[in-house]
Chain A
């Protein structure tokens, strides 16, 4: 296929998507939820079809534009009303409460103990120190959030000394 035509289609697709993504807000790229992830996959496929002229560019503009408008609408609904947020984006799920696993929350998110362990390690908390955790949740965007009990803090050098003395 003629590279010149591909170049023009790339430019049109880029300018169109760039403009739409800019006005749709930063959440599309930085704080995406499951819907944003699916949307970006679909948009990628649409761009592919447009660049390699499998569909007329007008079809791409209509399809991509409609999807982005839907995304903006969902964001606006979520922004205006918390109920919409729970319905459209999901709610944070509690995985760990007062150092104990929450099996219901894990089941709802299809996570097992290894997954929670991984999430906690990413938050810098080993399994032995789960007792320091007041609440660990998985947020609507898939990120983990860990709230420690008040007064608990990361181990210091003096704690090591204290532990050595205790074990001696």
Chain B
């Protein structure tokens, strides 16, 4: 029983330390996935047709509006430009308080495209708020 209490103490204290680090040092990129990682994760889920996993990566406002059909359409639009998606990579991001802009580079069989993504911070986690396709 003592071991369980000790383990609980370690978990709680670790969470408190991490929480304090995030709040005191205004951490937006170290102990939480940085914006470029959030946008990369979103497009990777879309690439793998895991739409139900992609939707929770959207901001709460967008999450209400977006359906899997819309994500299928987004995937088709991207693939119309680059061919079959082979690789997704989150690139540089600019953080401004609780919002950020990031670029996700999508490489396909017929070329690549840079997708501008704006993100907002909700409950400490970066969420995709809008997506804009740019021709590379």
- A residues near B (Cβ < 8 Å) are 1-2, 5, 8-9, 12, 16, 19-20, 23-25, 52-58, 61-62, 65-66, 68-69, 72-73, 76
Mark interface residues in B26-53 (1 if CB within 8 Å of A CB, else 0). 0001111110010001000000000000
Q: Are B33 and A54 in contact (CB under 8 A)?
A: yes
Which of B1, B8, B14, B124 touches A56 (beta carbons < 8 Å)?
B124
Question: Are B14 and A61 neighbours in the complex by a CB distance under 8 Å?
Answer: yes
Cross-chain contact A9 with B11 (CB below 8 angstroms): no
Q: Which of B47-94 contact A (CB under 8 A)?
A: none
B30 touches A9 (CB 8 A): yes
Asked if A19 contacts B10 (CB within 8 A), the reply is yes
Given known pairs A8-B30, A9-B30, A62-B15, the reply for A54 and B37 (CB within 8 Å) is yes
Q: Kindly provide the distance from the CB of B51 to the nearest chain A CB, expressed in whole angstroms.
A: 18
**Nearest chain A CB to B41 CB, angstrom units:** 6
Q: How far is the CB of B37 from chain A (nearest CB, A)?
A: 5
Q: Which residues of chain A are near B15, meaning CB under 8 Å?
A: 58, 61-62
Report the minimum CB–CB distance from A10 to chain B (whole Å). Answer: 11
B6 within 8 A of A: yes
A65–B7 Cα distance when bound, in Å, is 7
B37 & A53 in contact (Cβ 8 Å cutoff): yes
Q: A58-B31, A61-B15 are in contact. List 4 more A-B contacts (CB 8 A).
A: A23-B3, A54-B33, A56-B33, A57-B31
Report the interface size for chain B: residues with CB under 8 A from the other chain: 22
Q: List 30 A-B contacts (CB under 8 A).
A: A5-B29, A5-B30, A5-B34, A8-B30, A8-B31, A9-B31, A16-B14, A53-B34, A54-B37, A55-B33, A56-B31, A56-B124, A56-B125, A57-B18, A58-B15, A58-B18, A58-B19, A58-B31, A61-B14, A61-B18, A62-B11, A65-B11, A66-B11, A68-B7, A69-B4, A69-B8, A69-B11, A72-B4, A76-B1, A76-B4
List chain A residues, Cβ under 8 A from B3.
Answer: 23-25, 72, 76
B18 engages A12 (CB within 8 Å): yes
Please determine whether B10 and A24 come into contact, CB atoms closer than 8 angstroms: no
Chain A residues contacting B4 (CB-CB under 8 Å) are: 69, 72-73, 76
CB-CB nearest in chain A for B7: A69
Q: How far is the CA of A105 from the CA of B1 in the complex (A)?
A: 35
Across-interface contacts of A73 in B (CB, < 8 A): 4
- Cα A10 to Cα B22 with chains together (Å): 17
**Whole-angstrom CA separation of A55 from B14 in the bound complex:** 16
For A25, list chain B residues within 8 Å (CB): 3
User: Which residues of chain A are within 8 angstroms of B41 by Cβ–Cβ distance?
Assistant: 54
